[in-house]
Amino acid sequence: MMLSRIQMPLKARAGEVIEIRIAIQHPMETGYRQDEMGKSIPANVVNHLVCNYGGKEIFRAEMGTGIAANPYLAFFAVAGASGEVEFSWTDDKGETGEARVPLAVTA
């Protein structure tokens, strides 16, 4: 389980465009680094992040080694109905992480 920090409003009005920001703790190994023994460290990046809201995919990112360590993403979404905003991501080793934030939508 990887750590993450999500910043987004917990309350929004219907139709409002909200900003969602997520940062994940991950080294995003490029595969070009070596350990202290001179052995190369294999590439391992968070290659995939999906954001679902109300059971529907609203944002997806496919990333490579060109994304900085501890990947940070900020994107926007239209507040529809009250529900959970779910985040899930996977790295090259197959490790996954997920997070959920409830969003209360008022008319």
Residue 1 sits in the site that holds other proteins (CB under 8 A): no
What single letter denotes the amino acid at residue 71?
P
Residue 32 sits in the site that holds other proteins (CB under 8 A): yes
Residue 25 CA to residue 32 CA, distance in Å, equals 20
Residue from 7, 42, 72, 104 in contact with other proteins (CB under 8 A): 72
User: What's the closest the beta carbon of residue 54 comes to other proteins, in angstroms?
Assistant: 9
Residue from 2, 6, 61, 105 in contact with other proteins (CB under 8 A): 61
Residue partners of 80: CB distance under 8 A and separation at least 6:
14, 53, 54, 105
**Residues in 34-53 at the binding interface with other proteins, rule: CB under 8 A:** 34, 53
**In this structure, are residues 18 and 80 in contact, taking their beta carbons and an 8 Å threshold?**
no
Residue 89 bridge partners (DSSP): 49, 97
| Residues that bind other proteins in the complex, under the rule CB under 8 A | 17-18, 21, 30, 32-34, 53, 56, 58-69, 71-78, 80
